[in-house]
Amino acid sequence: MAKRLVSKVENPALPIPPTGTTLRRYLDDLNNILRLFFNRLANSVNLVTGEFGGQFIEKPNGLFFSTTDQPIAVVNTAQVVSFENTYLSEAITINGGSNSQITVTYSGIYNFQFVAQAATGSASSKNVYVWIRRDGTDIGYSARHLVLQGSNDSTDIAWSFSIDLQAGSYIEMMWSSDDIDTRLDTETAVAPHPGEPSAVITVTFVSVLPETLPTPP
């Protein structure tokens, strides 16, 4: 199917009411301009609401990832998950010196899909916690718990959640462990597979904010 682009509809340039010309000519000019305007408007609406209309809708989105190991610096202490690489960034950016603050340009409900690879090199079991922080404040009951067991054990932390954000607000993914020998692990490319990031997060706009904002637990 040939790609059709939706033309932006601009306000019509209506003619100035007549002073020296006839009223009939003025009305003809007015009708022609309005007919052209409404034809363009109808064509644009029909394209967006058609079977493949979603291809014309632009929504905020982002994808950020890390290609460095992220070790635990201090046990039982909150630290941010960093994303120093940007793949997609449309009205969603990474701010802050730590590359951790995922900031939105517009208010709305956003869906986050987070994946990290937790790993250890020693035999003892380790408790790992991951949670959500918004604008510097932890979101209640947002923590997830996993246990690493055995030498060279690794596991994926996979999490999808939606949350309300005001324009300019940011989300950080936080984590901690009770053992210093814990890290978010990255691996370089080795044939036949490509490299593995230590953490990846994608963000998509879902909808406008509800009239009544939810209260975090």
Q: Mind listing the pLDDT tens digit for each residue in 21-72? A: 677 788 888 888 888 888 888 888 787 777 777 777 889 999 999 999 999 9
pTM (2 decimals)? 0.82
Q: Is residue 4 pLDDT above 70, yes or no? A: no
Mean pLDDT of the 126-137 span: 96
All residues at 6 or more sequence positions from 18 whose CB lies less than 8 Å from its CB, including other chains: 25, 26
The pLDDT tens digits for 149-193 are 878 888 999 999 999 999 999 999 999 999 999 999 999 999 999
- Give, in order, the Cα–Cα distances in Å from 68 to each of 81, 116, 125: 11, 12, 23
Q: What is the distance between the alpha carbons of residues 64 and 85, in angstroms, rounded to a whole number?
A: 6
Q: Which helix (H) or strand (E) holds 101?
A: strand 101-104
Residues forming beta bridges with residue 63, ordered by sequence position: 88, 202
pLDDT for 73 equals 95
CA 51 to chain centre: 25
What is the percentage of the chain residues whose pLDDT exceeds 90? Answer: 64
pLDDT at 14 > cutoff 80: no
Mean pLDDT check: name the lowest of 43-52, 80-89, 101-110, 133-142.
Answer: 43-52
User: How many Cβ atoms from other residues are within 10 Å of residue 140's Cβ?
Assistant: 11
The pLDDT value given to residue 2: 53
